[in-house]
Amino acid sequence: MYQDTGKLYVVATPIGNLEDLSLRAQRVLSHVTWVAAEDTRHSKGLLGHLGLATTLISYHEHNEQERTLILIQKLMQGEDGALICDAGTPLISDPGYLLVKKAHENGIPVIPVPGPCAAIAALSASGLATDKFLFEGFLPAKAAARRRRLIELVNYPHTLIFYESPHRLRSMLDDCMDIFLPARKACIAREITKKFESIHLNTLQNIVLQVKNGDIPVKGEFIMMIAGYEIKANPSSEADQEIERILKILLPEMSLKQAVSITTQLIGLSKNVIYDCATKLKNET
């Protein structure tokens, strides 16, 4: 029934170094009828570099509802199109989910053209465990929501990957050190594939120091990775310390009941044990 539809190509583009654009990506971008791009002025530069004048259609978070309908129509009429973003892989903390979903719903073939992705590039060079990981993307912008999310992740046992903008990096690092503790291993990757690329594997405390003393300039693009929580040899005393640590963060922010409930979910021990510890801490303050 849908034999005559076009194809939607989801094309990864460089995150800094134009040499990272694959030959296949170049070929696809040259044969499609149109390219849907987040910022058409930015993408015009990429197409210009390839000597292409393919039609660009703007597709970003503020027009994606309306544009998705138009692009699906074009694909249904037999046009081949490509989706790109400003840098890296579309849909990874970037627009495109709605378009890809609707393409599937309409029987339109969706074809990935893989290539750069900042999170995967950073992880591969981080020196942190790569067997399992959680890609968290951007944390909430508001401090309280950000801290709440970090608290939820404190016991996650595999590497955590965050995108972060330079103007929030310092406060994010302070929260991470507070919540994950200064000795937790972490890696910060800056300006990957660009002139000032640098990748630092260290403790959170030392990374914060390096940022403070200017060894890691807060300019450009960053990825922050944090080692997963390690369960240590002596579980009972570790667990006690962990309960106390989490409660000390939560109690000033919320009621005793809420703090006990969240800590119970995080630690997975009896509520009574956690309640006793919380009342003891509350009485000490």
For 246, phi and psi rounded to 5 degrees?
Answer: -65, -40
Residue 118 contacts ligand SAM per CB under 6 A: yes
Binding mask 61-90 toward ligand SAM (x if CB under 6 A, else -) reads ------------------------x-xxx-
Amino acid at 152: E
Closest CA to 169 of 238, 232, 231, 217: 217
Residue nearest to ligand SAM (CB): 88
β-bridge partners, 163: 138, 223
Q: Closest separation between CB of residue 16 and ligand SAM, Å?
A: 4
Out of 35, 100, 108, 223, the only residue in the binding site for ligand SAM (CB under 6 A) is 223
119-158 binders of ligand SAM (CB under 6 A): 119
Give, for 226, the enclosing helix (H) or strand (E): strand 222-226
Closest CA to 122 of 273, 16, 6: 16
Q: Which stretch binds ligand SAM (CB under 6 A): 72-80, 169-177, 215-223, 244-252?
A: 215-223
Residue 28, judged by CB atoms within 10 A of its CB (0-12, 13-18, 19+), counts as buried
Residue 189 or 250 with smaller CB distance to ligand SAM: 189
Out of 6, 16, 81, 96, the only residue in the binding site for ligand SAM (CB under 6 A) is 16
Query: d(Cα 43, Cα 57) in Å, to the nearest integer?
Result: 10
Residue 200 contacts ligand SAM per CB under 6 A: no
Residue 189 or 262 with smaller CB distance to ligand SAM: 189
Neighbours of 124 (CB within 10 A): 9
Residue 173 contacts ligand SAM per CB under 6 A: no
Residue 221 or 240 with smaller CB distance to ligand SAM: 221
Out of 50, 92, 269, 281, the only residue in the binding site for ligand SAM (CB under 6 A) is 92
Q: Which bin fits 132, alpha (ψ -120 to 50), beta or left (φ > 0)? A: beta
Residue 117 contacts ligand SAM per CB under 6 A: yes
Residue 194 contacts ligand SAM per CB under 6 A: yes
Query: d(Cα 58, Cα 38) in Å, to the nearest integer?
Result: 6
Out of 80, 164, 175, 242, the only residue in the binding site for ligand SAM (CB under 6 A) is 164
Query: d(Cα 133, Cα 10) in Å, to the nearest integer?
Result: 24
* CA gyration radius, the chain: 23
Q: Closest separation between CB of residue 193 and ligand SAM, Å?
A: 6
Residue 193 contacts ligand SAM per CB under 6 A: yes
Number of residues that bind ligand SAM (CB under 6 A): 23
Residue 119 or 153 with smaller CB distance to ligand SAM: 119
Q: Closest separation between CB of residue 148 and ligand SAM, Å?
A: 21
Closest CA to 113 of 42, 34, 7, 39: 7
Out of 163, 169, 228, 266, the only residue in the binding site for ligand SAM (CB under 6 A) is 163
Residues 6+ apart with CB under 8 A from 45: none
Q: What is the largest CA-CA distance in the chain?
A: 73
Query: d(Cα 171, Cα 144) in Å, to the nearest integer?
Result: 12
By the criterion CB under 6 A, which residues form the site for ligand SAM?
15-16, 85, 87-89, 92-94, 117-119, 163-165, 189, 191-194, 221-223
